[in-house]
Structure 1
Amino acid sequence: MGTIQYGGAGEAIHIDDRALAHLKVAIATKLRRNESFTLSWVHHDDDVRGRSTIWLHPSIPLRFTFDEPETPQLNVKWIEDLMHSANSSGGIQLIDEMLETPTD
């Protein structure tokens, strides 16, 4: 379970390492373009029930911390889906990975 630490205060946001690796690519792309946006997610089962949203801005410090030392193989489709949501009025919605299944 990785974390996002955003700004100077507040609690770390806990996100599965694989999801965080994909999210990092989408967030870094938006911030590199100097674009602000929101990030929303549903709380984990071991957290207080509900959902959260934060406003991401290029001038606010952001740190990604991963438990696993190796970067997972990235799913380009998942990154595209995250980027598509990032460009919407609702901002990035942390969605589950959709794996392509081969058709027989």
Structure 2
Amino acid sequence: MGTVYYGGSATPIHIEDRALAHLKVVIATKLRRGESFTVSWTHPDDQPRGRSTLWLHPSIPLRFVFDEPEPPELSRAWLEDLANSANSSGGIQLVAEHFDTEPVEVDDHTPQVVETT
């Protein structure tokens, strides 16, 4: 289970490592372009019922922390799904992975937890 720390909030956001790895690539791409956007997710079963949304802006500090020392292979299809939602008016909707068989190499050294449904 990874963790996102955003802005001055002391409240960590927990996201499964594999989902966080995919989310990190899409978020870093958007922020690198200077684009602001939202990220939304449904609360996991162990939290109060509901959903949350973050407004992400390039000037606000963001840190990703992963429990696993090795990064997972990335799914091209899942990255495309997340990127497409990032470019929509609704922002990134953290959705469950759609499995494919072709891993993707990403050259991203951006510093680094929500359960997908």
> What TM bracket, shorter-length normalisation?
over 0.9
2-structure distance, mates of 1:34, 1:21:
20
What do residues 64-93 of structure 1 show as CA deviations (whole Å, max 9, x unaligned)?
001100000000110011000000000000
Task: Decide which structure has the larger Cα Rg and report it.
Answer: 1
Shift of the alpha carbon at 1:8? 1.2
Shift of the alpha carbon at 1:97? 0.1
CA RMSD of aligned residues (A): 1.1
Range with bigger deviation, 87-96 or 40-49: 40-49
Shift of the alpha carbon at 1:100? 3.5
TM-score (norm 1): 0.94
Q: Percent identity?
A: 71
1-structure distance, mates of 2:70, 2:41:
24
Give the secondary structure class of the aligned counterpart of 1:29.
helix
Equivalent position of 2:38 in the other structure: 38
TM-score (norm 2): 0.83
Give the secondary structure class of the aligned counterpart of 1:47.
coil
1-structure distance, mates of 2:72, 2:100:
17
1:54-65 to 2 correspondence within 5 Å? Answer: 54-65=54-65
1:8-87 to 2 correspondence within 5 Å? Answer: 8-87=8-87
Runs of 4+ with deviation above 6 angstroms: none
Equivalent position of 2:111 in the other structure: none
Gaps of 5+ in 2: 102-117
- Kindly provide the amino acid, as one letter, of the partner of residue 76 in structure 2: V
Residues 5 and 63 in structure 2, CA contact (< 8 A), matched pair in contact too:
yes
Gaps of 5+ in 1: none
Range with bigger deviation, 2-11 or 55-64: 2-11
- Kindly provide the amino acid, as one letter, of the partner of residue 56 in structure 2: L
Give the secondary structure class of the aligned counterpart of 1:9.
coil
Count of residue pairs brought into register by the alignment: 101
Q: Which structure is richer in relative contact order (CA contacts within 8 A, separation 6 or more)?
A: 2
